[in-house]
Amino acid sequence: MLAFHGAVPRLHVRSQTADASVQRRSDIGLLPACQALNLGLTGGTSERRRGRNSAGLAVLAMAIPVARRRFQKRAGAPWVIRAGTPSSSGSAQQQLEFEFEELEQADPGRSALKAQWAGPGSSIAFEEQSPSSGLIRVYSSPSSCGGSWRRMRFNDKTDQSTVLLDKAGEQVGATLAFGYLKTLAAVGAATARALGRFPPDSTGLRVLVLGFGGGALPHWFASQLGAQVDAVDLDDAVMRAATSAMGFPQSLVSEATGAAACAEEAAVRAAAPGDGATAGGKLRAYCCDGAEFVLAAAALGSRLSYDVVIMDIFDGEGQTPGVFLEEAFAQALGKIAHCAVANLTCPVPMYLDATNFNSPGTGALAASWRKGFGTSAQVWSVRVAEGQNIVPAVSREGAPPPEYLAQAARELASEGLFAFDPVRRVAFERRDWVAELS
């Protein structure tokens, strides 16, 4: 909920919405006004920002009706922003001013702790040569929390996964040590919320993660969001590394072999989901080809579908296999997913805008997604501040305006679902892949 207090508008997040709300449908035409209001920013309120906010509020009031008419001419996209003014007694509204800086200081996967796991490690906990991924090693390093960090690397040059284990040797579910994982989580969860696929107090979110690694991201969706998660990885050596050295329970790994059998088991689980009280009842890992799994899932029709599909797939050289960028895969993915989010390495320096010319992998994926997800689908992308990664996303219902994703991210943060700031991540160097791909 957005609340403006006093003469100077200030951005707050509320845990409840006791006052009447105004609901509007909007389009990207709201972006200038919402940028003036700093809807996608966090931090303090400088004098300059106060001035922009006061002017932006007036612009927003004029922009909403125009943008609403523009947006309703399109495919009936469901993005809804809610704004209201609380009463003068803040206690009755149970308001919560979210301090993201304090939140990130308590993040168990914060960058300040990178020195604990990014070094050579105190010991090698797992080592195996894999035909698919090359040399797989898991390094163990002590953690200041009393547990240990486990870092999986391919060929000693590509960081594949890092997890934090507690004193009992179990994964700490809130920990995402890589910046790109946090961005994947933020964009995926916020898009699902903005789409209405993940309303407050819901436990019905269904997520497919392609690319398992040590299980950090699948475990995060299951433990933090209470989602029903299927995770798929081609390499059985990666699964062995995860279960023997990275705290992922062997009991959560399916014994099914082959993509068709794995998809069939996932469909059975979807019809009778496990116990929602634990991550174990929510999460299942499958060892099979991810592209073939999606094709097999699409062949099952309505029996198997997902609210969000996350693609985090790299080979031993740190590249996304070409099959996941092709239209045939996108066609199958569009049949089973309402929205999808991917992690790609980006050859473009952070100070340049990625295009389908200088970031061909992203351009190819965006073009395939536009065709695979239907005529109303649109693709957008954000960058990962910590490195040369780009995170493209697609939705059947069109690209959500930035302020809508920011609002959804704030709602999720106010519900205690993130140990980091998701608002900055869903808007960082965003671009909409429209004109070049039409």
User: Which of 97, 132, 151 lies at the terminal end of a domain, its last residue?
Assistant: 97
Neighbours of 201 (CB within 10 A): 6
Tell which wins on pLDDT, 27 or 311: 311
Task: Give me the mean pLDDT over the 112-124 stretch.
Answer: 85
Residues 6 and 69 placed together within one structural domain of the fold: yes
Cα 409 from chain centroid (whole Å)? 10
Last residue of a domain, one of 69, 97, 125: 97
359 and 396 in one domain? yes
Secondary structure class of 176 (helix, strand, coil) = coil
Which residues have CB under 8 Å from 376's CB, separation 6+? 74, 75, 77, 396, 397, 398
Residue with the bigger pLDDT between 158 and 181: it is 181
Q: Residue 105 falls within a domain, yes or no?
A: no
Q: Could you tell me which residue, 408 or 30, shows the higher pLDDT? A: 408
Looking at residue 170, what is its pLDDT?
A: 93
Looking at the domain assignment, is residue 170 inside a domain?
no
Q: 116 versus 318: which is more confidently predicted?
A: 116
The answer to whether residue 397 is domain-embedded is yes
The per-type count for the chain, helices as H runs and strands as E runs, is: 14, 18
Q: Confidence band (pLDDT; 50, 70, 90) for 275?
A: low
Q: Are residues 257 and 396 in the same domain?
A: yes
Tens of pLDDT, residues 199-210: 887 778 999 999
Average pLDDT, the chain: 77
**Are 274 and 330 part of one and the same domain?**
yes
Contact status, residue 175 vs residue 216, Cβ threshold 8 Å:
yes
Total domain count, the chain: 3
Do 300 and 278 have their domain in common? yes
Residue 277 confidence (pLDDT):
46
CA distances to 21, 342, 378 from 372, in Å: 36, 15, 11
Say which residue the tokens 């080592």 belong to.
127
Say whether pLDDT at 302 is over 50.
yes
Please indicate, yes or no, if residue 174 is contained in any of the structural domains.
no
Q: Is the pLDDT of residue 43 over 60?
A: no
- Residue 358 located in a structural domain: yes
- The answer, yes or no, to whether residue 67 has pLDDT greater than 70, is no
Task: Tell me the residue ranges of DSSP E strands in 17-65.
Answer: 22-25
Contact assessment for residue 279 and residue 224, using Cβ atoms and an 8 Å cutoff: no
Nearest CA among 248, 335, 314 for reference residue 283: 248
Determine the pLDDT at residue 50: 36
Mean pLDDT (whole number) for 246-264: 96
Q: Which of 97, 124, 154 is the last residue of a domain?
A: 97
* 221 and 357 part of one domain: yes
CATH (domain of 329): 3.40.50.150
Cα–Cα dist 167/148, whole Å = 8
Same domain, 147 and 81: no
Does the pLDDT at position 156 exceed 80?
yes
148 plus 252 within the same structural domain? no
Mean pLDDT is lowest, of 101-115, 242-256, 332-346, for 101-115
Residue 23 has pLDDT above 70, yes or no: no
What does residue 423 show for φ and ψ, rounded to 5 degrees?
Answer: -65, -45
Element (H, E) at 393: strand 389-395
Q: Are residues 263 and 237 in the same domain?
A: yes
Read off φ and ψ for residue 398, nearest 5 degrees: 105, 170
Q: Residue 104 domain-assigned?
A: no
Interatomic CA distance for residues 356 and 354, integer angstroms: 7
Q: Of 12-21, 86-95, 231-240, 384-393, which gets the smallest average pLDDT? A: 12-21
Indicate whether 106 belongs to any domain: no
Do 233 and 128 contact (CB within 8 A), yes or no? no
Q: How confident is the model at residue 141 (pLDDT cuts 50, 70, 90)?
A: very high
DSSP 214: T
Domain that holds residue 137: 115-165
Q: Do residues 357 and 276 share a domain?
A: yes
Kindly state whether residue 214 falls inside one of the protein's structural domains.
Answer: yes
For residues 155 and 189, state if they share a domain. no
Tell me, yes or no, whether 6 and 92 share the same domain.
yes
Q: Which residues contact 316 (CB under 8 A, 6 or more apart)?
A: 130, 132, 133, 134, 154, 155, 158
Residues 6+ apart with CB under 8 A from 115: none
Average pLDDT over residues 235-259: 95
